[in-house]
Amino acid sequence: MATTSSLMSANTSQAPASPPLAIEVRDLVKRYARATSNAVDDVSFHVGRGEIFGLLGPNGAGKTTTIGVLTTFVRPTSGYIRVMGEQLSRGAQSIKQRIAVVPQVSNLDRSLKVREILTFHAAYHGVPRREREQRADALLDQLGLGDRKNEKVTAYSGGMVQRIMIARALMHAPDILFLDEPTNNLDPQSRLFLWERIRELNAEGLTILLTTHDMEEADQLCQRIAIMDHGKVLVNDTPEQLKKIIPGGTALELRVRAAEGVAAGAAAADSTERVLAALRALPGVTQVDELHASVEAPSSPAPAGPWGGGAGSGGSGESGGDAPDERGVATYRLYAEDVSALIGAAAQAALAAGAEVRDLRVQRPSLENVFIYLTGRNLR
């Protein structure tokens, strides 16, 4: 299990030494035809054999494109990629034999019955008949699908579809399993079930690369995580190391409202600047960000904007949308070695800058906060 903490941009200039890598990506660039920017922009990382590796980032960060390249569905514009020691540009056919893909949305063969979906998949990969039938039955039982194996998939729920796709993926005994947003549309129960299976598979030696925009999922499952945004890998490390990126490990979050209810136009912008300046002037403060998407309590995620890319538009509920929103409420994050010592000072500074403090809390270390620290934006 290669959980050696390789920092920021995994430097792969030296030849991969003793533990052979499952995946090696160097300087990967993908620009789609007629696109104005790179979907994946000079990304490098590697995944050791037997590792669970996560690509974490908002929609549009380039995670799915990266998986697309590794699974031979997307042709890289440039870059050097090896999968199970095989160079992608040369060995696509043998790489396809060693990987398995579970996509974001169902691509199950709806003309076939569930069990046939599995056995045909194995047949495509050259698994002999007797063995593929045994494996299909075993996998269907283990994934709780045994009693419905002779049905077609049209009437299956999202969780069922997901399980069938995973069972299918395992039929040809792959070395690497790619999971693209595996729990995106699952109910909590199915999500936990899936996490369990992922851990089991990994314990049996399967290398797993998954993408997610769910911080908790990345934290729970992954031994190493690359955080992506706008096609780039921002950081790449173990969850524990990543959480240490935030100086002092914690952040102080303030929600303030511009004074006198002057919420519109120049006055609001003016007030924002005054608050930012006042907070930055506090002793020991290393960074202050104004958040550009709703940051409600992390336990109840804010309504997801259509794309993580820009500032979310059209706030819903009481605090969604841009900050400052129409009522002049803005959210700031303040980072320092010891934020708890600054609680009083920060509130006073905001007041002195003419703002009214609505809420003030200390954010514990979490991947979500790491992402916000790195980008100034919420992941959703």
Interface residue list for other proteins (CB under 8 A): 32, 68, 71-75, 93-94, 96-101, 103, 105, 107-112, 116-117, 120-128, 130-132, 135, 138-139, 142-143, 168, 170, 172-175, 197, 200-201, 204-206
Q: Please check whether residue 231 is in contact with residue 79, taking contact to mean a CB–CB distance below 8 angstroms.
A: no
**Cβ at position 170, least distance to other proteins in Å:** 6
Cβ neighbours of residue 239 under 8 Å, at least 6 residues apart?
218, 219, 222, 225, 367
- Written as one letter, the residue type at 51 is E
Phi and psi for 17 in degrees, rounded to 5? Answer: -80, -130
**Cβ at position 159, least distance to other proteins in Å:** 17
**Cβ at position 94, least distance to other proteins in Å:** 7
**Cβ at position 124, least distance to other proteins in Å:** 4
Closer residue to other proteins in complex, CB, 110/361:
110
Closer residue to other proteins in complex, CB, 152/280:
152
H helices of the chain, in order, are: 63-70, 92-98, 114-124, 129-142, 158-170, 188-203, 215-221, 239-243, 265-280, 343-352, 367-375
CA dist., res. 135 & res. 363, Å (int):
47
- Written as one letter, the residue type at 191 is R
Closer residue to other proteins in complex, CB, 17/35:
35
Alpha-carbon distances, residue 50 vs 47, 54, 72, 301 (angstroms): 9, 13, 21, 32
**Cβ at position 176, least distance to other proteins in Å:** 10
Closer residue to other proteins in complex, CB, 139/246:
139
Instruction: List beta partners, residue 331.
Output: 255
Closer residue to other proteins in complex, CB, 92/281:
92
Closer residue to other proteins in complex, CB, 173/343:
173
**Cβ at position 123, least distance to other proteins in Å:** 4
CB atoms within 10 A of CB 14: 6
